[in-house]
């Protein structure tokens, strides 16, 4: 019996971030689709539902990541997809968006949050946790 690879959608306007994390995820057995455009990413997700979404916070606007995560979580066909938000806003702009509780994570429509640069070990541990949790709960099957 062949096991279906889990799929991850990466959304970021930083091509280096997309490429580095695409390689990391593929090396760890995931199928990856990369987007630098949130609208195109959402359209594709509606056609081919992924197991996980990783989105940057600030892209075309300062709240692009918040808007895309809200759109995913409010869409009945996508709402069960785990979302990880990553950002360099803290280090580059001095903003502190980091949620300090599960309630704050829920308020930003995310299942996890990382500041850039992201530790590959911590990132992959969270990806595995969220995609395995997804399959255990019967989501995205």
Q: Is residue 124 part of a domain?
A: yes
What pLDDT sits at residue 95?
61
On the CB side of 14, CA atoms within 13 Å amount to 14
What pLDDT sits at residue 112?
96
Q: Is residue 139 part of a domain?
A: no
pTM: 0.88
- 128 sits in which H/E element: helix 120-136
Q: What is the number of residues in the chain?
A: 141
Q: Is residue 140 part of a domain?
A: no
Q: How many domains does the chain fold into? A: 1
Indicate the pairing of strand 7-11 with strand 83-87: unpaired
Domain coverage including residue 85? 7-134
What's the burial of 50, exposed, middle or buried (CB within 10 Å: 0-12/13-18/19+)?
Answer: buried
Dist. CA 92–CA 72, nearest whole Å: 27
Q: What is the CATH number for 15? A: 3.40.50.2300
Give per-10-residue mean pLDDT for the chain (141 aa).
85 96 97 95 96 92 88 96 88 63 89 93 97 62 35
What pLDDT sits at residue 140?
42
What pLDDT sits at residue 136?
55
């Amino acid at each position: 019996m062949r096991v279906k690879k889990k799929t991850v959608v990466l959304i970021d306007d930083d091509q280096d971030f997309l490429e580095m994390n695409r390689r990391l995820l593929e090396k760890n057995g995931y199928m990856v689709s990369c987007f630098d455009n949130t609208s195109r990413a959402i359209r594709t997700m509606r056609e081919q539902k992924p197991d996980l979404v990783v989105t940057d916070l600030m892209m075309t606007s300062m709240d692009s990541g918040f808007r895309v995560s809200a759109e995913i979580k409010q869409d009945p066909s996508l709402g069960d997809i785990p979302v990880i938000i990553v950002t360099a806003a803290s280090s580059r702009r001095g903003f502190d968006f980091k949620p300090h509780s599960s309630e704050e994570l829920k308020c930003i429509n995310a299942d996890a949050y990382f500041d850039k640069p992201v530790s590959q070990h911590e990132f992959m541990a969270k990806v595995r946790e969220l995609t395995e949790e997804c399959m255990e709960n019967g989501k995205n099957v």
